[in-house]
Structure 1
């Protein structure tokens, strides 16, 4: 049964699963006759999952195992399948959360009564900031006492990194894809056996055009941007003032033709990634970093190593480094002026003294970003990856009953180099890897 047109069983039986996905947009202009059918891999996955569910269903009827929500996406057959399906399997891609009909299918299923379980299947990687609703992208696991279908650890790692589409391209280990498909099918079958078959509702809608988009009203993810840098009135001895302005947030280390300060450009890049940002000085953000105020968002700290010539600033950064804050990413741009190039070893020594934990632990990309970034292009690339990583760490952080810091953590007195203000937290308000033919 492919799409809304093959629905003979839907009229009489409730499909075991409804596979919801975002189709590849139709090509514009002439189409090469040899071009593979759009969404061919998705349709093959649907067929594989249908066979696996039918094989694991035992005595359950398999005449209407699944329904593929593709053709006639807003029509009555699709609406009927959404009302009567036993489980909802969204095939997750970045495009999925921008497709209006995927949003409507999600809304229709999650707002019906009774509602069966959602069993997300990851097709291609999706950054945290592209997920407007909470969704677990790990490989599904059946509930106890069912023993999960065995999936090799390497298969689970590849599933997390590349999704089912990536597994389909792994010709050296085709069993990885098969294992994951059978695991998803196992979860579908368990849910079908536990959930009662939905009964038709006389008030059910007949098409999806009048159903709200579950993803349309989502808010952006907050992100705090803190800047620790001198201003023109508080520079280290003999430091050139060409890179600085009246406030720390005016700092622009790169001579790449842009007059906009780096912090503002970072905020613009963050908005393109789906973040709602606010820029703060380090003085404003420090109470959050030291646990004196509750963290309400992930953070990015942009650090100019020249400020570490000030002993007070050095001590304050050491206090920050002593705390385990995986939801704070440190980026250290190295200015492209001759004075900074000549002082590389000295600045590197100051960074090692200020950030010993950050520079000796964590992922290589995190250590490298904290040790020094030499160009605006490299900065943009590091920020894109690490901001999303900080967001994931923030969402997964353990919640504490008290935001107060341990008694051993003391905040050094404020150093010159910018205005001191009350410490608010951040505001509360990439290319698509569909890899389809």
Structure 2
């Protein structure tokens, strides 16, 4: 008896729309099940809900789902096309389609790029495939599937759209059997479909200023932080789960920063501090921005402190250093003098010489973080356009630290927390 495979793999960019994505996934699974006649308990579709896009290890389950699923449904938005990991998912499935095409002689219509957010400029790879969804109607492209999921007034259109999509998925999956790729796929080394093309080192293509930012998260997992602080609800299983503005913002900071960058039409990637050296080199070589998102508590970890100090000593191209301090995190406020001194010790060169608009200590709320990051990206990108080279710290320029509306090193007679409300 042949293996019964999932009908579709749902690819999406993790962020603030996760609840609407899950609702769409559940409704689509229900409709596909009804049309296919599959029994309860059969895996109709695959939706990964972990923060893979934030750097968590790729699981065998996800890799297997990409190899086994019969069709690929992509929820396209600016954030989606700015996601390295969504581009990797697309690349793996597209390679399966190409592999099958070499044997059958024609490309099966098994990839469905859907307009999740109205007004999304579709990547060339998606534009080539949009004809597979033409009979779903132009109206949904104008409205955006996201609005169909959010707004009750679109309920009838949503149900009609999902019904038509389910019909296409079932029919195409059964008509065009798709082969898995031979051998073992290691997604770590898969090139994202959405990554900018690379030219020879030193070429004009590399020196061109692209709107691309690397967010490097200097944070740790809950287990790593357990020995250093009491409040662990800001952490998760990996560095990518760090959400310093909980409970007011539960979204991990790396994902939140990427969404802000996407609104400004930046392609964004999020990486662990272990990739800091490589990301700094890539930013320097390709005229891109690099932003360090630093958990002040991470300076208490020997390995993290060493990597930050080495990066700082190298004078690497750092567009910004942003260090949050949730004004409701009393434990951090109580220890801020120690944390502040530790940050300034491992980032001594940047603290002394960096452009003050690019070095931001103690950002107190997620709204402030949004405003500050907007300023950082605009200022850093303008410098790149003006200078035509990656940002480098001037060797002898001393700039006093700016006064921010947030935690600072306090005078001897001053106490925290200061009322900033």
TM-score range relative to shorter protein: 0.3 to 0.5
More helix, by proportion: 2
TM-score scaled by length of structure 2: 0.39
Select the structure of larger CA radius of gyration.
1
